[in-house]
Structure 1
Amino acid sequence: MAASAGIDTDQVQLDPERLLELESGQASNLDDEALSGPLEFTIDPEQAAPILRRLVKPTGSRARIYNRDGALILDSDMFYSRGQVLRYDLPPPSAEEPDALTSFWRAVKTRLRQYDLPLYEEIGGDNGKAYPEVAAALGGTPVPIVRVNDKGELVVSVAVPVQRMRAVLGVLLLSTRGGDIDNIVAAERWGIVRVSLFAAAVTVILSIILANTIAGPVQRLAAAAERVRHSVKARTQIPDFTSRRDEIGHLSGTLRDMTNALYKRIDAIENFAADVAHELKNPLTSLRSAVETLPLVKTEEEQARLHEIIQQDIGRLDRLISDISDASRLDAELAREDLIDVDMAELLRTTVSLFNDIHRDDVPEVVLNIAFSPGKAPYVVEGHDSRLSQVIVNLLENAISFSPPKGQVRVFAKRQGKTIEIAIEDEGPGIPEENLERVFERFYTDRPEQYFGQNSGLGLNISRQIIQAHNGKIWAENRPLNWRDQADPNTERTSGGARFVIQLPAANV
């Protein structure tokens, strides 16, 4: 309806014929000639000024309104309300020379402000069409444009048409102040710089903390491990960080345990070498004496006796070398071979049956007693069947050698929870209390006279190593006297014989 209105002084009059034309869809045919007639609308500066003032007040931007001819109607820089004083910032009358830091910062900002943009120039109020964006907006198209002023500061301008019923009455041109965009960009850049500086400071602090808490201890552990590698005999101590409840503390504890185990193994090897040298020297000395004495004896009986001694010493040497070789290979074989399920009940039955098959009148009988235990395989362990069989054979041979000819060697097996316990008892004189632990030492032997020279003293020591490698335990104790042990009134006994007990963890089957 506004397009069909005519202006007569201060009143708006409607032309019915024009209104009918608009109703019939001909409003789009209004052209400049039609609007230049008595139906022309104009922008009232007095009514637009308050609106324009409220528009630019929050942002401080500059707003200008041009009419259809490109003439400036309103400029926010040129009007003010009653009682308002316009203030413009002017440069100081006598500016001092900036210091080096300020000059450097200005040079950096100038470098950053090198834009390849058109120069912004102020154009008179009568030639608004000289602004490309204003000319485009008069054609009905909003246009933004970015320029730089003579100081190299960004100026962003946006021109939008002021329309009424699709007719362009004028153009609103909004422009930023010189330096506003640059200040925003500079503030953002300074914010990024501050965040970057803060992140760099945090990184440096964290690096120092990590160097003192992680890198430093790791370097000390590595240096100590390197010293151990180059000089094992120096007995270098690994730094103790076990008080730390983290990976460094765990690593320190593991390295310390590993180093201590290494030193113990070195000590064991040295002691083993010394014991081997000592044990080999005894039969060699006896053999040498017999060989040196042999040419001096004259009777055949003495020569036969010396030959018997020589044969015994050679047999002792052979057993010693075999047992020493077996003991030296034990750790490597246990570590190299895979574990399998071993039924200890079946192993005991087979071993006991083998001993009883070769039973002689002068050898004690072996009696087996396996307690019933519910379950699919109650006596199965994970281990090496040949080595576990070697332990049982060693203990049986040891028990037989101490038992009287008509006696018995009893083997008991039972399961207690997740532990399988095997006990082998003899009817011998027992073991002195002070030697219950010594019997497991290398080359320790205390046998009856008829068995002298037939044992190297390594059997029980090897048995303990095998059981410990299977995460088990073995120990010796004396069993109490019973009616069988007290049958001979002429014999004074304090114990009913020795008992060797083995405990092994049962397998989960």
Structure 2
Amino acid sequence: MLRRLTASLTLKLVVLIGLFVALPIVLYGQFESADSQMRALVTRAIQDRSALIAEALAPVLRDTDPAAPMNMNRELEKYASSGTVLKLMYQPPAARSASRFFLVGSAPPLAPEAVSAELEELSQRGLLQRLSEACTWNAADEMRYRRADGTVELLTSIIPIRARGNCWILTTTHVASDFLNTSIGRPYWETREVRIAAAIYLVGAMLAVLVALGMRLSLRRFRNVADEIALGRAVDATFVERNTVPELAGVARDFDRLVHELRRVSREIRQSAEDNAHAFKTPLAAVQSALRPVRRAVPEDDSRARRALEIVDSSLARLLGLVNAAQRHDMGTADIIDAPRMPTELAPLVEEAARQVQEILAAREIGLVLKLERGIAVRTAAGMLEAALQAVLENAISFSPGGTAVTVSLHASTDTVELRVEDEGPGIDPEKIERLFERYFSSRPDDGIGSDRSVKHSGLGLWIVRRNVEALGGQVKVANRPSHGFSVTMVLPRFVIH
């Protein structure tokens, strides 16, 4: 069972799908965690850089008189860099309660007419209130907000600077997504790297799915060809014609070669059976013809000669029967190899077999009980299942005492069909059950029930039953019944009639 599971292509495909689903989730979690750490480091680096700029500006601000005109653009430009906006704000002591600030420097510099608009935007964003709190508590702060058009997120560090009892605020603003090319300011899945990786993954997944579907379709084509051959619809092997995968071309050729060889062997077996039967029947017929004048010439009162003629006639009849049995056996073998497997409903087949044994049942005063479910079908070649059922019925009848009954039941599950024949005879020695399917083995007693002296048994009945049933993909089970009697159960794959 374990080997079957590990060799299953379906199981491997399920595992592969599971890996395709789980792998990106695990990797995304790991990469997102690493990116979060990178964002924390970048943010801390921004804050540290702003603090260093503030430390550098502190001596200059100590020497600056707030009452005199100020233009700190030149000082800020010393520390400006591409993508970074520096602003220096000043809050007069008298304006602290009103959270008013003056913009005294900017890098890059702002035009005088743009200062009022800049302060108004800072006020609307709530930045001025945050500046006032930074002055009150002398604590650095950080704020993120989007531009008026909502497209770009800005990261602003707020650093208070104390000089000569006055509060100055240095703001350092960065476009978040551009700083060190991290995902600051946007979800991690929106980063360029993740989207490229996702696109590559999706392409790989689609290719894997296409390969799996291609293999499945190719195997299905092979199965359809095999079904057509089994049903007798394909005159010639067509695996190569139906195959579209170059890598399976060799397998298709091997299948075609195998089908060709099986058909050739089947034809040779049939031809050999016919030739052998003809070769034996011709001299037997000649002997029977030669005996006719001898039989007429022997006097009626010569009992010894008459007895000799009866023995010769009996032997000839037995030889002819053996020749016919051998011919049927060989033809059955050929049918197993090559005969079309057609969907066949079992209930009518069982009823026909029952009609054929009605005379024997009546002569031996044995009843027949049929418990059949309708609409149950299997795929079988003509005569294969009939021969098996006939052998089992004849066996059950020969071991049944008069006044008893043989029961034939037919039941089906989702995938299988059970055809059971039960008698009320003596059963069989448990030690001999394993040998019942051996060729030429017979468990019939010399006298009593089951001896059946009127028929010469060859010991091939149950062997033929198992051969035919296994050729149809089934199995045969035999067992003694708990009370008395014997049962033979044929389990076959079910064919669902649509």
TM-score normalised over the length of structure 1? 0.36
Q: Highest Rg: 1 or 2? A: 1
TM-score with structure 2 length normalisation? 0.37
The structure that is helix-richer by fraction is: 2
